[in-house]
Chains A and B, each alone.
Chain A
Amino acid sequence: MATPVKPIRRAKGLSDRAIAWVFVAPSIFLLLAVNIFPLIWTINLSFTDFKANRNRDVEYIGLRNYERILTDSDTWLTMQATAHFLFWTIFFQVLIGFALAFLINKKFRGNDLWTTIIVLPMMLSPAVVGNFWTFLYQPQIGLFNYMVTFFTGGDPSSFSMIGEVALAPWAIVIVDTWMWTPFVMLICLAGLRSIPGSIYEAAECDRASKWRQFWTITIPMVLPFLMLAVLFRGIENFKMFDLVVQLTGGGPGSTTEVTSINLKREAFEKWRTGYASAYAVILFVTVFGLASIYVKALNKVKDR
């Protein structure tokens, strides 16, 4: 705690400037120690052949790590797996999330409670939930196959969501959509509620159809919110690790090996620390670059 201020009338105790520094410094210090310093260290390591599990001399090898990563066809496969995951999770979450928000905004009785229930999955530990979904996905004994074949007919043991190359990418999309649709829904709901009723009333006077109102008022007004939700889901799912690692572990083969899993293998299983550091830098630059471009677009939409 800061020193107790003596009641001598020295204006107002500590000067504002001093308080500002005392208040901000611990945070800045912690972030420097746990974020910035490590980041610089990572960049430095990315030019070396360092292996954290070996006691041998570390050599600077220039851009060789970067060259190896970018020319390795497996890197591009993991990027593809990540892109597939990103695209479809965002697609479904936006679609379902917006629809739900639209419906909830009709303010039926008890919508508050049901909204809370829908929100539950996003509050839970992805690793724990993801682990349990492997049980739900088991052919025969799992609930998922049983439910699906209950509606479509067929044998519940005839397919395996996390075992088949064609299905595994969808298995992770389904769980992520289940977990995070509520997030998009909440943001959309905030957007819908920010639209003043008077706009619709004016449109009503102009005899604009409901359909027209939806496309000319609702969608444009909610769009900035929706784009924001997409940005957050995009960043989060680009980093995705816990859910996928527990669900499929990257398999079968390398079908669902998203970049984080690949990075974990390089860094903490193969212990190619230098190589993995370069990989981390590439990922960071990618997210940062894509996010910056996106934010520019977002601001344009906002200004419109």
Chain B
Amino acid sequence: MKRRLLLSTAVLGALSAAGTSQAADLTLCWAAWDPANALVELSKEFEAESGHTMSFEFVPWPNFADRMLNELNSGGQLCDLLIGDSQWIGGGAENGHYVKLNDFFEAEGISMDDFAPATVYAYSTWPKGTPNYYALPAMGDANAWFYRRDWFENEEIKAAYKEATGDDLREPQSQTELLQIAQFFQGREIDGQTRYGASIFTERGSEGITMGVTGALYTWGFKYENEPGSYDMEGAVNSPEAVEALEFYKELYETATPPGYSDSYMEQSLDAFKSGQVAMAMNWFAFFPGLYADPNTGGDNIGFFVNPPQNQAGSTLGGQGISVVSYSENRDAALEYIKWFAQPSVQATWWELGGYSAHNSVLNDPGFADSAPFAGDFLEAMNDVQDFWQEPAYAELLLAMQKRVHDYVVADQGTAQEALDKLIEDWTEVFEDEGKL
């Protein structure tokens, strides 16, 4: 009896040893953008330490949601680890795509208290705010602005602005001031070329225009529901403030963007800025290290500012958590990666390489705000972020908003009030189908 027991434990031990020491080839899926390259760099350390090899599947943003949600819904095994967008968490959790990480966190001593609360709330939890974790905050992000500092500090341009508007040219302190500055630059000749006001998000196919327009909506005080969790949207989604904000965004689009800017998202915004077309541009913090490093429009020629407040401060949340895909055959190795990634030292390197760590040890470091010209703005923006619906039906909710907003802002159909009224109808229908209304 004793021998058998011994034997079986030996076999078990051998098995489990084989299980952990066996080198796996992990595939990590994310969007194709600057931070992804940084993550490849960072992961080399993991490969050296663990003996596992890492492969990467990076999908461009306009196709990212489409392809990855398709992959998850088809039960695909392409990705072991997925850095999925914040809004996918509800679906990922409820449809069983993501592995629930609570037990793992507990066993490995990873505490969610070590991460910035806004990021834990947005990237990890489902239902929202409950201690049920389906991801580890991987990349903090928000939508913000950058501008041509060299133009803003040019005496001639400053004088012209003063003359045209009576105000001093500076980083805009409100949405309306931003519009005024953008309109000032629109069509202006600078260094022999025609320049334009601002490049903003107007993309139709994925999430572009929604991410852009919510930047305005939140600062006007837009709310999704009258009472959180009530799905009662009448009077919130179509409040007079929301209508005003939507009209503002349309005016910004019509009077202060480069020609043909009807379908632009991250890349087009960057293109316009780097090619010297625009004075200001909106984009995610994720791109700011790359923008700052740009030999022509970076360095001293670029400045950054948080999405300016209007009635209140507010920024559109970006960013992602890292999850283990439940269809993966390399679950243990994938968890190992997350354990490695959560270490403060790795998180510090992550920020150095151009990733936005959400770890408190990085963010609360006294030197953080001065570690990059946009680091302080990042901390400020993350204080007032709001996110789109994170419901399991998020895709339907998003597509409805894409359509209604694009129809109004770009295709010039109907009024802002009608667009938002219709949006409530669409959303109500979705929640009714969900059995939540």
Which residues of A line the B interface, CB within 8 A? 49, 52-55, 138-140, 157-160, 162-165, 248-255, 265, 268-272
Contact = CB atoms under 8 A, between A and B. Distances in A.
Nearest to B406: A253
B396 A53 contact: no
A272 B396 contact: yes
B69 interface: yes
B411 A251 contact: yes
Interface string B386-406: 000000100110010001001
A250 B91 CA distance: 26
A81 to B, nearest CB: 12
B413 interface: yes
B395 A250 contact: no
B263 A254 contact: no
A251 B209 CA distance: 12
B228 interface: no
Nearest to B398: A269
Given A53-B91, A162-B262, A162-B263, A270 B411 contact: no
Contacts of A250: 204-205
B325 to A, nearest CB: 15
B259 A49 contact: no
B260 A139 contact: yes
A269 B395 contact: yes
A256 to B, nearest CB: 10
A52 B407 CA distance: 28
Given A52-B73, A249-B204, A271-B73, A165 B411 contact: yes
Contacts of A251: 204-205, 262-263, 406, 410-411
B422 to A, nearest CB: 10
A182 B237 CA distance: 51
Report, as a range, how many residues of chain B touch the other chain. 20 to 34
Interface string B188-210: 00000000000000001100000
B205 A164 contact: no
B284 to A, nearest CB: 21
A269 to B, nearest CB: 6
B332 interface: no
Interface of B: 66, 69-70, 72-73, 91, 94-96, 204-205, 259-263, 392, 395-396, 399, 403, 406-408, 410-413, 433
B411 A255 contact: yes
A272 B407 CA distance: 22
B406 A252 contact: yes
A189 B304 CA distance: 63
B258 to A, nearest CB: 8
A99 B301 CA distance: 57
A254 B407 contact: yes
A250 B263 CA distance: 11
27 contacts: A53-B69, A53-B73, A55-B96, A139-B260, A140-B260, A158-B259, A160-B260, A162-B262, A163-B259, A163-B261, A163-B410, A165-B410, A165-B412, A249-B205, A251-B204, A251-B205, A251-B406, A252-B411, A253-B403, A253-B406, A253-B412, A253-B413, A254-B403, A255-B411, A269-B69, A269-B395, A270-B395
Nearest to B209: A251
B262 A164 contact: yes
Nearest to A156: B259
A215 B116 CA distance: 80
A160 B413 CA distance: 18
Q: Which 6 pairs, one residue from A and one from B, show the smallest C-beta to C-beta distance?
A: A253-B411, A163-B262, A160-B260, A251-B204, A253-B407, A139-B260
A251 B70 CA distance: 22
Contacts of B413: 165, 253
A174 B335 CA distance: 52
A139 B72 CA distance: 38
Nearest to A142: B260
Could you say which of A139, A248, A269 has the most chain B C-beta atoms within 10 Å of its C-beta?
A269
Contacts of B396: 270-272
